[in-house]
């Protein structure tokens, strides 16, 4: 088997992280070869108990986020432990990730400004809730709160019905991704100047970035976009339809695709209908158009419509369950589901490849405190 890419093999990352956002950033670094040292409280990251389901000693969600890492138990209120952690960071760390409650690292002397005085080449990343400034900067936050506060939930769900949270933890995981992007930018600058930096990302800022296209529509029109169900604001027809045996998403977002769709569903006259003459007209008259398409799609099963649409070159997709996605031959062909060394666990890998090779987990998720010796003896166990 070809060796997986490990471009961060020379990096040491200290993760003062819990829950999802900082651990996800740490997971990305770990899968790409960095030595990631996860600092945990005595009872461990709360996410260890986020189950069922549990898998080989901890919640499945914890295990996937914390593969390819080492676990060090450190009592941050203990002067002895804290001094040892400071020594570890100064002597070995390239990067520190932290998503502790607002103000905690400053109280402990583990904030970016303090650590950069000790180690000017350090890259330190704050992963806050509401960001580094403003009236809410000291408030904690979690993914569903930020989906609500950042406008995501107001645009998610069916019109006239209660707002719903997007199922995946897109705010937490998106913040982890932005952390990695910011850190890589700072590391590139460090390579040129020798100087580290403090990177700030937050759940709130990530939430606003996910709705930036919708916000641009509001800023242009003064009208706040509402819920679109499975559709997209400003593009019609572009949504999911119930079929006789399931659901199918059809994305006919251009004039050429709309003409093809009209032909496939047996209504070529729609092409000349002024209500549907172009996308702005279809957006204005989407209620009428969708009512007709909804009724047509219910007359046959998903496979029938998918075959017809694909033959015509119209983008479409059945709505798959997680089980169907995992089992699909496309998932297998890309090698997305990966075995974790030394375990029976299997997780989805990073969504990237380098020279055709996807990064792979380098080690199983650590048991709580398995590598605490690193803190005091600089050993690996």
Say if residues 38 and 366 touch (Cβ distance below 8 Å).
yes
For residue 108, give Cα distances in angstroms to 105, 120, 133, 215, 217.
5, 19, 20, 38, 44
Dihedral sign from CA coordinates of 124, 173, 55, 4:
negative
Element containing residue 43 per DSSP (H, E): none
The residues near 132 (Cβ < 8 Å, ≥ 6 apart) are: 126, 200, 202
Single out the catalytic residue among 45, 81, 94, 172: 172
Residue 225 pairs in a beta bridge with: none
Nearest to 141 by CA among 100, 97, 183: 100
Please report, for residues 129, 150, 175, the alpha-carbon distance to residue 206 in angstroms, rounded to integers and kept in the order given.
Answer: 10, 8, 6
Residue 81: its H or E element: helix 79-92
CB contact at 8 A, 94 and 187: yes
For residue 298, give every residue at least 6 positions away whose Cβ sits within 8 Å of its Cβ, in sequence order, or none: 241, 242, 243, 244
Pairing mode of beta strands 54-55, 58-59: antiparallel
Q: Distance between CA atoms of 343 and 365, rounded to whole angstroms?
A: 9
| Residues in Cβ contact with 5 at an 8 Å cutoff, skipping those fewer than 6 apart | 32, 33, 354, 355, 357, 359
Provide the strand spans (E) within 29-147. 35-40, 54-55, 58-59, 69-73, 95-98, 123-128
Known catalytic residue at 245:
no
Distances (CA, A) of 334 to 215, 293, 324, 327, 349: 35, 34, 15, 12, 10
Contact 156, 163 (CB under 8 A): yes
Report, as residue numbers or ranges, the catalytic residues: 172
């Amino acid at each position: 088997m070809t060796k997986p890419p490990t471009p961060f093999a020379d990096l040491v990352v200290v993760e003062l992280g819990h829950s999802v956002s900082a651990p996800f950033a740490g997971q990305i670094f770990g899968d790409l070869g960095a030595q990631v040292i996860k600092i945990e409280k005595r009872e461990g990251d709360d996410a260890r108990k986020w189950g069922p389901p549990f898998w080989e000693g901890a919640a499945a969600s914890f295990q996937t986020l914390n593969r390819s890492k080492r676990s060090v138990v450190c009592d941050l209120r203990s002067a002895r432990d804290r001094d040892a952690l400071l020594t570890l960071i100064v002597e070995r760390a390239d990067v520190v990730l932290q998503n502790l409650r607002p103000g905690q690292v400053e109280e402990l002397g583990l904030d970016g400004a303090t650590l950069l005085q000790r180690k000017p080449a350090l890259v330190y990343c704050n992963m806050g809730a509401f960001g580094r400034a403003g009236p809410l900067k000291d408030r904690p936050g979690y993914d569903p709160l930020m989906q609500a506060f950042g406008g995501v939930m107001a645009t998610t769900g069916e019109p006239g019905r209660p707002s719903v949270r997007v199922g995946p933890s897109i705010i937490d995981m998106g913040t982890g991704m932005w952390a990695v992007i910011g850190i890589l930018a700072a590391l590139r600058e460090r390579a040129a100047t020798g100087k580290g930096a403090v990177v700030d990302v937050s759940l709130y800022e990530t939430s606003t970035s996910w709705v930036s296209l919708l916000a641009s529509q509001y800023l242009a029109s003064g009208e706040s976009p509402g819920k679109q169900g499975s559709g997209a604001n400003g593009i019609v027809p572009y949504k999911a339809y119930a079929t006789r045996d399931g659901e199918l998403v059809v994305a006919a977002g251009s004039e050429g695709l709309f003409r093809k769709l009209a032909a496939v569903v047996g209504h070529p006259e729609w092409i000349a209908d002024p209500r549907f003459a172009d996308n702005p007209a279809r957006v204005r008259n989407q209620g009428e158009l969708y009512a007709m398409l909804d009724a047509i799609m219910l007359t046959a099963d998903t496979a029938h419509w998918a075959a017809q649409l694909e033959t015509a070159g119209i983008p479409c997709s059945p709505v798959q369950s997680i089980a169907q996605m995992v089992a699909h031959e496309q998932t297998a062909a890309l090698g997305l589901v990966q075995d974790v060394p030394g375990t029976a666990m299997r997780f989805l890998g990073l969504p990237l490849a380098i020279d055709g090779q996807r990064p792979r987990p380098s080690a199983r998720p650590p048991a709580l405190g398995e590598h605490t010796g690193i803190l005091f003896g600089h050993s690996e166990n």
